[in-house]
């Protein structure tokens, strides 16, 4: 049988779980995802696992928080005066906002608390500080030309 190599495009299904087993993502509704191996589209641990798999194989890849989305950083939780936000849509917990970091990089903030004068927003990835695992199934291999 054939296993994929760097440059090949693989089609995978996955189930993403937090360290406690809670499912936080899956390809169930959107269908298999295509990934070009070696292009940095997915965690290196998953690419490494995929290079040893054949179509139909299943494997679970555990990724420690430091190698996944990194540790939670308290300095990324900030209070924003409500007057600095547009009036519509009204801020709600869980809502994502786009901002710019001090070095000019785009940053997604997630509203965690809404007060009368301020909104508390978190710039950490929702899975920061979490160990995660991917249960992956290799569906197809398209070899590089």
Domains, the chain, ordered by start = 9-69+128-142 (3.10.50.40), 74-122 (2.40.10.330)
Euclidean distance between CA atoms 32 and 30, whole angstroms: 7
Residue 85 has pLDDT above 90, yes or no: no
| Better-predicted residue by pLDDT, 103 or 118 | 118
Q: Nearest to residue 136, comparing CAs of 76, 69, 46?
A: 46
What's the CA gap between 7 and 94, in Å, rounded?
37
Residue 22: the pLDDT is 96
pTM (two decimals): 0.79
Instruction: Look at residue 1 and tell me whether its pLDDT is greater than 80.
Output: no
pLDDT digits (tens, 9 = 90+) for 13-37: 999 999 999 999 999 989 999 999 9
Quote the mean pLDDT of the chain: 93
Residue 88 pLDDT exceeds 90: no
Distance, CA of 26 to CA of 99 (rounded, Å): 27
Whether 103 shows a pLDDT value over 90: the answer reads no
Spell out the long-range contacts of 83-89 with Cβ–Cβ below 8 A and sequence spacing 24 or more: 85/119
pLDDT digits (tens, 9 = 90+) for 56-78: 999 999 999 999 999 999 999 99
- Tell me the mean pLDDT in the region 125-139: 95
Residue 102 banded pLDDT, cuts 50, 70, 90: confident
Q: What's the confidence (pLDDT) of residue 101?
A: 77
């Amino acid at each position: 049988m054939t296993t994929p190599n760097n440059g090949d495009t693989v089609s995978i299904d996955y189930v993403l779980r937090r360290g406690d087993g809670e499912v936080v993502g899956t390809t169930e509704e959107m269908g298999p995802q295509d990934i070009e191996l070696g292009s940095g589209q997915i965690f290196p641990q998953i690419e490494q696992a995929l290079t040893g798999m054949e179509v139909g194989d299943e494997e679970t890849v555990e990724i420690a928080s430091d190698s996944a989305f990194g540790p939670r950083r308290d300095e990324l939780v900030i209070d924003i005066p409500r007057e600095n936000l547009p009036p519509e849509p009204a801020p709600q917990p869980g809502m994502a906002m786009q901002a710019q970091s001090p070095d000019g990089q785009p940053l997604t903030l997630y509203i965690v608390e809404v007060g009368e004068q301020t909104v508390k927003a978190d710039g950490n990835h929702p899975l920061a500080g979490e160990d995660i695992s991917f249960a992956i199934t290799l569906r197809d291999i398209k070899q590089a030309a």
